[in-house]
Amino acid sequence: MLAHSSQMTTHLFKTSIMSKNNHPLISTSCRSITPEPPVNSNEECYTGIGASRGISIGECYVFVKEKGDHNIKELHEKNISEEIEKFFTALLRSEKELKKIERVTIRKLGKGYSNLFQAQIMMLHDPVLIDAIAERIGSERKPAHLVIEEEFDHYLEKFVNSNDVIFQERADDLQDIKNRIIRNLHIKKLNSWLSEGVIVAADILSPADIILFSRNNIKGFVTDSGGSTSHISLICKSLNIPIVVGLGNFSQKITTGMQVIIDGSTGTVITNPEEKTIAQYISKKEAEKKYEEDTSLTAMLPATTKCGIRITFNANIDFKEELHAVSPAGAEGVGLFRSENLITNGNNVPKESEQFSYYLEMAEMISPMPLDVRLFDIGGDKLIYSPVKEPNPNLGWRGIRILIDLPEILDNQLRAIIRANIHGNLAILIPMIISVDEIRHVRTAVDKHYSELTRAGEWEIEKPGVGAMVEVPAAVELIEEITKCADFISIGTNDLTQYTLAVDRNNVIVQSLFEKFHPAIIRQLHRVIQTANKNHCKVIICGDMGSDPLALPYLLGCGLRRFSVVTSDIPKLKSLVSRYSIAETEALAIECLKLDTSSKIKARLEAFQADH
């Protein structure tokens, strides 16, 4: 069974600080708004990860998933056939549920996120997995729920122990389909209707839970597990529902009916809030709503500094269905399309023709605005191609390394992008660059395919530009050479911080050390941006730091003029740009470069922000 574990893993591959202008900005703690409770108060404040912004106040509903009767440990011979039949019936019921959820998802969010459930449906038809479970029920005389637990746990262990943060968070999706099959063994009805207007708390929630509960006008979600890039977080962002994740055993400390406040921007959750606290959060919520209304009015205007310098904001997206929101938010293009999200249905990379159709539709939808397609950023433990289990996939076979070693994947994707570039607005972005040889390899392949496609005159297309991701220290050290070799660079601050500081951002033990304002990161960014500008190489930032209002003036002072961020953050950032002059941000950058600790840098940035 373990022999096909790699095959299976691919199915789920995948506070309020008020400025003197009274604009609420996003911070990362609750301390500035949480009052000191009275001596006899029951009010308590918890801090998790704010994964979808917004403030909600209301009653809590503690959601506990039903578990079946697991008393039976061994089957009688006469019951084996009946047990196998129960298993196949559970598969059918699970598929019916998932198709229903898929339809609701398409209606609410479009087809993009429905791929999550298509992948789960495919698992229900995986002959290796299904045959193994049925065979073991008969040969070992074990009840179905035990065999399902054991088989799925092989894959869950692989997901959880992965060094890839995205992969770890996808374990929740696999856990969901396991629980769904087991629940349906016992003919338990899917619980999807709750009282309207509650805040749902749970130890774990699946994308299916979020989609179905959203029909009840849920005010928000809080979970013990999860991360900011998990599927449930991304779905909540798309649905504009606040969510706080990573709260430990919070769901065990509360009860249904308890009054709760959640702040999805700061990660704050307050139970049994005092009237004074409720009033403060109502005030903050109203201020944020007013601010968003104000910024939405100016979102379509060009972003210009106080001294008249134009700043460009593009959007980061995962699916083409997100394109409809790009222009209304004030984006001037897409600076990062994560193409690996096309790999959802098993381990087969989409064919060239399928990719061509997808990229062409995107290019036409957004034309004449630019769209940068990042080549498949896949890790060694996400595909069956890796012959061994890597001890540390983040430092192993991933990104451009896989694409160079498997030219059929690289060539098909490059040809699809080139063919789709009929409007001249597509560009290619290479992940995980550590040498100029990798850039030259892709450039040579692009030249070859472009020549072949245009030689016969069948295609009137422009050659797409080739850019490089700067997300590892090696790329920073080679930035002089890289900016002379690439048409543009894109700074991925999440991985750059992780690799530079040797800190796994998903490891709770060292999570406090994952600091984007670390002096080493601040100095790297300045060096990369300055070098790119000197060599007339376009530079854009696409990591989380680009969305941070605190970092914005520093990045402007370093010389950055292009940002690619979460679509919903663009109006706010465009509004902030107008408060700064380049001269004062350059002076700020020089000051920060001289500081030797993260706390000093953040204190200086906060002081600058308060003055503007």
Instruction: Convert 60-92 into a string of H (helix), E (strand) and C (coil).
Output: EEECCCCCCCCCCCCCCHHHHHHHHHHHHHHHH
The per-residue pLDDT for 162 is 63
5 in a structural domain: no
304 in a structural domain: yes
pLDDT digits (tens, 9 = 90+) for 258-269: 999 999 989 999
Q: Are residues 269 and 366 in the same domain?
A: no
Domain boundary, last residue among 185, 204, 228 = 185
pLDDT digits (tens, 9 = 90+) for 298-331: 788 899 999 999 999 999 988 887 898 899 899 9
CATH number at residue 265: 3.50.30.10
Work out the average pLDDT over 554-580.
94
The per-residue pLDDT for 270 is 96
Q: Which of 23, 145, 231, 526 is catalytic?
A: 231
What distance in Å separates the CA atoms of residue 205 and residue 209, rounded to the nearest whole number? 6
The per-residue pLDDT for 256 is 94
551: left (phi over 0), alpha (psi -120 to 50) or beta: alpha
Asked if omega into 368 is within 30° of 0 (cis), the reply is yes
Q: Over 60: is that where the pLDDT of 69 sits?
A: no
Element (H, E) at 427: strand 426-430
The per-residue pLDDT for 26 is 36
Residue 391 binned pLDDT confidence (cut-offs 50, 70, 90): low
pLDDT digits (tens, 9 = 90+) for 122-155: 888 888 889 999 999 999 999 999 999 898 888 7
What is the DSSP code string of 104-127? HHHHHH-STTTHHHHHHHHHHT-H
Closest CA to 442 of 409, 397, 419, 475: 409
14 in a structural domain: no
CATH number at residue 495: 3.20.20.60
416 in a structural domain: yes
Q: Over 80: is that where the pLDDT of 38 sits?
A: no
The answer to whether 189 and 83 are in contact (CB under 8 A) is: no
115 in a structural domain: yes
Helix-then-strand count for the chain, H and E: 22, 19
Which residues neighbour 191 within 8 Å (Cβ) at sequence distance 6 or greater? 66
First to last CA, the chain: 61
What distance in Å separates the CA atoms of residue 547 and residue 314, rounded to the nearest whole number? 11
% residues pLDDT > 90 (the chain): 52
Q: Which residue has the tokens 């060539």?
A: 411
542 is catalytic: yes
Q: Are residues 260 and 181 in the same domain?
A: no
Domain boundary, last residue among 185, 206, 228 = 185
Q: Are residues 223 and 367 in the same domain?
A: no
Q: Over 50: is that where the pLDDT of 1 sits?
A: no
Across 75-89, 329-343, 347-361, 497-511, least confident range: 497-511
The per-residue pLDDT for 333 is 96
Residue 391: how many other CB atoms lie within 10 Å: 8
Q: Which domain holds residue 355?
A: 299-610
Q: Are residues 237 and 334 in the same domain?
A: no
pLDDT digits (tens, 9 = 90+) for 272-299: 999 999 999 999 999 988 887 777 777 8
CATH number at residue 127: 1.10.274.10
Encoded tokens for 51: 């994964």
Q: Over 70: is that where the pLDDT of 537 sits?
A: yes
Q: What is the 3-class SS of 302-369, one letter each residue?
A: CEECCCCCEEEEEEEECCHHHHHHCCCCCCCCEEEEEHHHHCCCCCCCCCHHHHHHHHHHHHHHHCCC
The per-residue pLDDT for 126 is 85
**Who has greater pLDDT, 480 or 379?**
480
Q: Over 80: is that where the pLDDT of 410 sits?
A: yes
12 in a structural domain: no
The whole model's pTM is what?
A: 0.68
Number of folded domains in the chain?
3
The per-residue pLDDT for 580 is 97
Instruction: Round the average pLDDT of the chain to a whole number and report it.
Output: 84
The per-residue pLDDT for 539 is 98
Q: Are residues 307 and 340 in the same domain?
A: yes
**Who has greater pLDDT, 99 or 588?**
588
Q: Are residues 511 and 393 in the same domain?
A: yes
Q: Over 70: is that where the pLDDT of 384 sits?
A: no
Q: Are residues 51 and 133 in the same domain?
A: no
The per-residue pLDDT for 31 is 38
pLDDT digits (tens, 9 = 90+) for 103-115: 888 877 767 677 7
Q: Over 50: is that where the pLDDT of 345 sits?
A: no
231 is catalytic: yes
Q: Are residues 496 and 520 in the same domain?
A: yes
Residue 11 binned pLDDT confidence (cut-offs 50, 70, 90): very low
Residue 434 binned pLDDT confidence (cut-offs 50, 70, 90): very high
Residue 13 binned pLDDT confidence (cut-offs 50, 70, 90): very low
Q: Are residues 309 and 375 in the same domain?
A: yes
Element (H, E) at 484: helix 479-485
Residue 30 binned pLDDT confidence (cut-offs 50, 70, 90): very low
Single-letter code of the amino acid located at 215: R
Which DSSP category does 265 fall into?
Answer: T
Q: Are residues 179 and 205 in the same domain?
A: no
Q: Are residues 360 and 404 in the same domain?
A: yes
Work out the average pLDDT over 493-508.
83
SS3 of residue 223 by DSSP: strand
SS3 of residue 525 by DSSP: helix
Work out the average pLDDT over 366-377.
95
11 in a structural domain: no
The per-residue pLDDT for 71 is 61
**Who has greater pLDDT, 572 or 564?**
564
Q: Are residues 450 and 477 in the same domain?
A: yes
The answer to whether 565 and 513 are in contact (CB under 8 A) is: no
439 in a structural domain: yes
Q: Which of 60, 485, 537, 542 is catalytic?
A: 542
The answer to whether 269 and 2 are in contact (CB under 8 A) is: no
Work out the average pLDDT over 76-89.
89
Can you say how many angstroms the Cα of residue 593 is from the centroid of all Cα atoms in its chain? Answer: 30
Domain boundary, last residue among 267, 292, 317 = 292
Across 21-25, 67-71, 488-492, least confident range: 21-25
Work out the average pLDDT over 221-244.
84
Q: For strands 303-304 and 220-223, give the pairing.
A: unpaired
